[in-house]
Structure 1
Amino acid sequence: MNKYISLIGVPMDLGQNRRGVDMGPSAIRYAGVMDRLEKLNYMIEDLGDIDIPNPGNRPDDKGLKNLDEVSEGNIRLTKVVDETAARGHFPLVLGGDHSIAIGTLAGIAKHAENLGVIWYDAHGDLNTGETSPSGNIHGMPLAVSLGIGNEKLTQIGKYAPKIRPENIVIVGARSLDEGEKKLIKDKGIKVYTMHEVDRLGMTQVMNDTIEYLKERTDQVHLSLDLDGLDPQDAPGVGTPVVGGLSFRESHLAMEMLSEANIITSAEFVEVNPILDEKNKTASVAVDLMGSLFGEKLL
């Protein structure tokens, strides 16, 4: 694992309806992420938070809420992630809602010939303005990164697509809209729903994921939404879905990714302190980061 890590906070809460997720980066810092990673002998720099535009009072653009502000925030994030990767540092992005993955992937993908993505999430985030029931952009970043959706989002970084559908693995899905299901089938995206996780076990799911991506990619980005975990373990999220991945399963997944040494960038998103219990979800995020970066019991 790259020993130089740059923390990038993105206090974005405009990609969805519930306020508070903009405080996610602060909550994760408060939970001790820097101390945790420094104890693992990483060199950590905190680049602070991206400045997010204030939402306007204009009507939604083509059904997409806060389109201009989400776009501008992600343009700013793209620049910082791009510069971080160019310096040879590991970009570790702290969210904020999952719409920030648009900027993270736009900044990272230009440094890879064939970027792979592990999307650890209860949701597919493969909606567009036409298929989304809500118009919330945090349900669209994976589609946007495939070049599908509004040009104000797909053209961030001035190129599209950022990733190929055959280089994506979704882990933990259990809430998919009809348009997302169609896109998954049409594009042949690899998905391990909770059915597969329960049936195969996390060890096989992660072994298969690692081997699958090793064969076809030169870098792998981890996009981890805390709502991928069961709400009992991670209550502080805006769109909880029962029946999720356990705390232990998630630790195992991160430990296996650490051992495989394939992750070259990561983001942890959707920590909402207002909905949390004594910063529990932010602490879970830091625990998982510890495992991802090589922390062991013995």
Structure 2
Amino acid sequence: RDYEKEEEYLLKKHNIKVIPVSEVRKKGVESVVRSALLHLSNCDDIYVSFDVDSLDNSISRGTGTPVSNGLREREAEDLLATIMQNHKICCFEVTEVNPTLDKENLMAEIAFNILQRSVNILLVN
């Protein structure tokens, strides 16, 4: 996704790991999730917040900040399904769905599918 200068500064200042979509596609879901979880290995609990604006703008029209070259729905589901298997995950949310921009509830349906699959995996673990 795109970053404003202020966001980029805060990401660097607080050592927040950013994994671009291109890296997910190049290295694969398992590899990038492993890398992200290694980065968080000193954390007792992990709170996962999934912003739908990380999805490609061809499917994320129901958000205020759609971005091109974002995640495909299946990529997002696979990423989150892999992350949710970690025992440190304590909370999960899906954010940035804007009903006033969501024609025909497409974004809400995609967000619900992602939420449902992720929570089902979280409950099993």
TM-score exceeds 0.5: yes
1:268 shift after superposition:
1.5
- Matched with 1:69 is none
SS class of match (2:26): helix
CA separation of 1:262/1:233 partners in 2, compared to 1, >3 Å: closer, same or farther?
farther
Mapping 1:194-213, distance limit 5 Å? 194-213=21-40
Does 2:10 align with 1:183? yes
Q: Which has the higher contact order (CA 8 A, sep 6+)?
A: 2
The structure 1 residue matched to 2:57, chosen from 222, 231, 235, is 231
The structure whose Rg is larger is: 1
Residue-pair matches, total = 121
1:226 shift after superposition:
0.8
Does 2:110 align with 1:257? no
1:269 shift after superposition:
1.4
Which one has the bigger strand percentage?
1
Q: Matched residues, percent identical?
A: 31
Runs of 4+ that moved beyond 3 A: none
1:231 shift after superposition:
1.7
- Matched with 2:104 is 278
1:294 shift after superposition:
2.4
1:275 shift after superposition:
1.4
Give, as a single letter, the amino acid of the residue that structure 2 aligns with 1:289: L
- Matched with 1:60 is none
**How big is the alpha-carbon RMSD for the aligned residues of Structure 1 and Structure 2?**
1.8
SS class of match (1:224): strand
Does 2:73 align with 1:247? yes
Give, as a single letter, the amino acid of the residue that structure 2 aligns with 1:178: K
Q: Distance in 1 between matches of 2:57 and 2:112?
A: 17
1:211 shift after superposition:
3.2
5+ residue gaps, structure 1 = 1-173
Give, as a single letter, the amino acid of the residue that structure 1 aligns with 2:11: I
1:212 shift after superposition:
2.9
Q: Distance in 2 between matches of 1:284 and 1:217?
A: 30
Q: Distance in 1 between matches of 2:10 and 2:16?
A: 8
Q: Distance in 2 between matches of 1:202 and 1:294?
A: 19
User: What TM-score comes out, normalization by structure 1 length?
Assistant: 0.38
CA separation of 1:230/1:217 partners in 2, compared to 1, >3 Å: closer, same or farther?
same
5+ residue gaps, structure 2 = none
1:221 shift after superposition:
0.6
